[in-house]
Structure 1
């Protein structure tokens, strides 16, 4: 058992070193300009260690962002009390703002957007708000809302978060309910 624990610790250390190395390189280069060779050299691990943990450099970023984004969506899905949820979202977005700015300037924003979109789709599939809509309406409305919500959060983060988090939350809720009401009225 000790050997297994030791192997797991080494694997986790390799992941941490690779993630740190990639972040360091992204400070000055776009993701498309970074190579696996540069990352493993900076991390001080072998290519084999890289490929034991990841298939690509994008996988490192996915492994970094996914747990953070998933946790915020879990708070929403599990109906965490509003004050607690808003505090967690506020902290998350405060922490995410510099990374999102880097993602935009270093061309890896699609990774964040994909994780966000997957979570939005899962969220809408677990709600009852789409009941009564056709399968096509459900699919396209969910994608429409995901893109819109992402655009709102992105704009708010990149523009310096001047409006309160409550204002942004209310705005998204208004858009969500208005577009859903319009779809439901269309059926009638």
Structure 2
């Protein structure tokens, strides 16, 4: 038991060192120019330690960002009343702004967008489970809304947040409601 706990602690430390090293390198290098060798050298761990934990640098970034993004969506799903869900998402994106800017500049935004889209899919499938849409409508409406919500938040954050957070919330709520109404009225 003690050996297992020790091994788990070493694995966790290796993951932390590798993540820290990669994030440091991303401050000055694009993701596609960074090698595993550079990361392990900076982290002070072996290549074997890297490959025991991750297959690619993308996997390392996914492992780093996935829990934080999933946690924000879980907060919205479980702890935030319906009238505050957009506010919670706005706060999340405001906190994510510097990372999103770096991700766009350094070529790893697709990882954040994929994680966001995966979580949006879970969010809409959970909140719309017994809603008025057919399974096919829900599938495509979720993809449509996920892409649109991400694009709006991205534009707002990277564009300098010129509009108020309330304006963005109202826009998202209007678009969500209008698209939902269009689908349900079309089914009549």
Superposition TM-score, scaled by structure 2 size: 0.91
Q: 1:129 to 1:9 in 2, by over 3 A?
A: closer
Count how many residue pairs are aligned between Structure 1 and Structure 2.
188
Q: Secondary structure at the match of 1:24?
A: helix
Q: Name the structure 1 match of 2:175.
A: 175
Structure 1 spans left out of the alignment, 5+ residues: none
1:143 paired with 2:143, answer yes
- 1:173 deviates by 1.1
Q: Secondary structure at the match of 1:131?
A: coil
Q: Deviations over 1:136-177 (max 9, x none)?
A: 222111100000000011011111223333332222111001
Distance 2:158 2:76 in 1: 23
Q: Deviations over 1:21-57 (max 9, x none)?
A: 1111111211111111111111110011001111110
Q: Name the structure 2 match of 1:117.
A: 117
Cα contact 1:86–1:165 (8 A) shared by 2: no
Cα contact 2:80–2:88 (8 A) shared by 1: no
Greater mean alpha carbon deviation, residues 77-86 or residues 100-109: 77-86
Q: 1:82 to 1:142 in 2, by over 3 A?
A: closer
Q: Secondary structure at the match of 2:155?
A: helix
Q: Deviations over 1:99-124 (max 9, x none)?
A: 10111111111100100001111111
RMSD of Structure 2 on Structure 1 (CA): 2.1
Cα contact 1:72–1:89 (8 A) shared by 2: yes
Distance 2:44 2:36 in 1: 12
Q: Name the structure 2 match of 1:126.
A: 126
- 1:76 deviates by 1.6
Q: 1:26 to 1:119 in 2, by over 3 A?
A: same
Q: Name the structure 1 match of 2:95.
A: 95
1:16 paired with 2:21, answer no
- 1:82 deviates by 6.5
- 1:130 deviates by 6.8
Q: 1:178 to 1:90 in 2, by over 3 A?
A: closer
Cα contact 1:90–1:165 (8 A) shared by 2: yes
Distance 1:48 1:75 in 2: 36
Q: Name the structure 1 match of 2:34.
A: 34
1:73 paired with 2:73, answer yes
Distance 2:67 2:125 in 1: 20
Distance 1:93 1:40 in 2: 31
- 1:87 deviates by 6.7
Cα contact 1:124–1:130 (8 A) shared by 2: no
Structure 2 spans left out of the alignment, 5+ residues: none
Distance 2:46 2:175 in 1: 49
Q: Name the structure 2 match of 1:186.
A: 186
